Each structure stands twice: as structure tokens, then as C-alpha cells.
């Protein structure tokens, strides 16, 4: 099967298209963009300048990858990089980096559902899911396997740890620790993401994750005391939590938030 381009699509001469791509009516592929093998662009979708799609990426109708960041007085932006087998739903928008040499990045096997928005300079880990209408501000990091429920609003610079779960319809302005759940409004830390851990072969087991989260949240320790307890625990995966805490900029979502 060769690459097929609907005659009503617009593809810049400098764009590079891999084999077996399919571009529907009124798609736009801008200057310097690159599409990997097997990509599908549904009608009215757009790939911005210098942006890159890996293999078998699919853009739903009206989806935009590499759009201009929503930053005042910005003249020139960077790009967006979407890795293999990621699907971007209908009318979802993924904005480019605000820095000329920067990238907004999505890992492999991500699912970004309809009408979601990923702001400039975000980093989305592999197998992460953003449900319908999730809205991410700039500079957010969503780690591997995390799930954000529909209509979630996330403040800039927030980090959501690996295999964490954020309930739909809440506003998250603090970092959510790996393997955890955030629920309620205002949101609170709501225990181990048991279902998510059991569903993924790459996640730690519930038996591995729960003792570490108890040290961090359930023992009544102040944060520095919890860090020390984690470092001295000898438990597998403790380093994952310690590294997450070290990089936290927004502060940690806790049971009492």
C-alpha cells in the first residue's frame, strides 16, 4: 500500500511523509513536518511546522499537533514530537514548545481523547491516557501509564507520577505521587491506584507500591521525615518516589489537601 493523499489536502513541499500514510480531505502538513510510516490524518487535521509524528500515529478529525503556543507576543515557536502508535482524538490540540529549539513531547502508545488540550512544553509519558476534555497548561509532566479523567484541569508545572489516576472533572494544582489516586474537589490524595497497577504489566505490584505510599502519607511523618524513611526502607522502588519528590516544583498532593 502506497501513501495516499486526498487531492484537497495541503502538504508543504518540504514535509516528509513515510510509506503507507493516509491523508484525508483538507488536512494540512506544514513546512519541515515529518510523518512516520503508517500515519493516518483524518479530515481537517493539521501537523504544524517542524513537528514530527512517529509510526502509526493517528490524528482524529480536526486535531492539531504543533499549533502555536498560547503565549503573548510570541513570534516563533518550537515543535511537537509524537511517538509511535499514539492516537490524538477529534479536535484535540497539542501545542508546540514556546522555545524555538524546544519540543512538546508525547511518548509511545498514548491516547489523547477528543477535545483535550496539551499546552506548550508538556511531556507526556508512554501509555498515558488523557480522557475527553482534559486541559493541560504549559510545562506539565505526565509520567508513564498515568490516567487523567475527563474534564480534568491541570495547573502549569504540575507533575503526575507514573501509573497514577486523576478522577474526572477536578482541578489539579499540586503534584500527584506515582501509583496514587487524586479524587474530590478540592482534590485530595486518595490512596493507591490499585486498579491501574493491576492492569499494567510494567507497573509495580500493589504489594510493592502500597508500603512505600504508606510511609509517605499514612505514618503521620513530615515530608523530610518521610524522605529519610523511604531512603532507609530498603524497599524496591523507593528510589522512584525519592526522585519524584526531588523534582517536585508545585508541592505534593496529600491526604489533607
Is the pLDDT at 18 greater than 90? The verdict is yes
What is the pTM for the complete model shown? 0.94
- Mean pLDDT for 177-184 is 97
pLDDT at residue 257 in the model: 63
Which has the minimum average pLDDT: 2-11, 89-98, 109-118, 210-219? 210-219
What is the 3-class SS of the chain, one letter each residue?
A: CCCEECCCCEECCCCEECCCCEECCCCEECCCCEECCCCEECCCCEECCCCEECCCCEECCCCEEEECCCCCCCCCCCEEEECCCCEECCCCEEECCCCCCCEEEECCCCEECCCCEECCCCEECCCCEECCCCEECCCCEECCCCEECCCCEECCCCEECCCCEECCCCEECCEECCCEEEECCCCEEEEECHHHHHHCCCCCCHHHHHHHHHHHHCCCCCHHHHHHHHHHCCCCCHHHHHHHHHHCCCCECCCCC
Tens of pLDDT, residues 126-138: 999 999 999 999 9
pLDDT at residue 221 in the model: 83
Domains of the chain: 4-204 (2.160.10.10)
Tens of pLDDT, residues 33-81: 999 999 999 999 999 999 999 999 999 999 999 999 999 988 889 999 9
Q: What is the mean pLDDT of the chain?
A: 95
pLDDT at residue 111 in the model: 98
pLDDT at residue 82 in the model: 98
Tens of pLDDT, residues 223-239: 899 999 999 988 889 99
Amino acid at each position: 500500500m502506497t501513501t495516499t493523499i486526498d487531492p484537497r489536502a495541503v502538504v508543504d513541499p518540504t514535509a516528509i511523509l513515510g510509506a503507507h500514510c493516509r491523508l484525508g480531505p483538507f488536512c494540512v502538513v506544514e513546512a519541515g513536518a515529518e510523518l512516520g510510516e503508517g500515519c493516518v490524518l483524518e479530515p481537517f487535521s493539521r501537523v504544524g511546522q517542524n513537528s514530527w509524528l512517529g509510526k502509526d500515529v493517528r490524528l482524529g478529525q480536526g486535531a492539531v499537533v504543533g499549533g502555536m503556543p498560547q503565549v503573548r507576543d510570541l513570534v516563533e515557536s518550537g515543535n511537537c514530537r509524537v511517538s509511535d502508535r499514539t492516537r490524538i482524538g477529534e479536535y484535540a490540540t497539542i501545542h508546540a514548545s514556546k522555545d524555538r529549539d524546544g519540543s512538546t513531547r508525547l511518548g509511545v502508545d498514548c491516547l489523547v481523547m477528543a477535545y483535550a488540550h496539551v499546552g506548550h512544553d508538556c511531556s507526556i509519558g508512554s501509555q498515558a491516557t488523557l480522557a475527553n476534555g482534559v486541559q493541560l497548561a504549559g510545562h506539565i509532566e505526565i509520567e508513564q501509564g498515568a490516567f487523567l479523567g475527563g474534564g480534568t484541569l491541570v495547573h502549569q508545572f504540575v507533575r503526575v507520577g507514573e501509573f497514577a489516576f486523576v478522577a474526572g472533572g477536578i482541578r489539579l494544582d499540586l503534584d500527584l505521587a506515582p501509583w496514587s489516586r487524586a479524587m474530590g474537589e478540592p482534590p485530595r490524595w486518595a490512596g493507591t491506584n490499585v486498579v491501574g497497577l493491576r492492569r499494567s504489566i510494567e507497573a509495580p505490584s500493589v504489594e510493592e507500591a502500597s508500603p512505600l505510599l504508606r510511609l509517605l502519607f499514612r505514618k503521620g511523618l513530615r515530608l523530610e521525615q518521610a524522605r529519610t524513611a523511604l531512603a532507609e526502607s530498603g524497599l524496591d522502588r523507593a528510589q522512584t518516589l525519592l526522585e519524584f519528590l526531588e523534582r517536585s516544583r508545585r508541592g505534593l498532593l496529600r491526604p489533607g489537601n
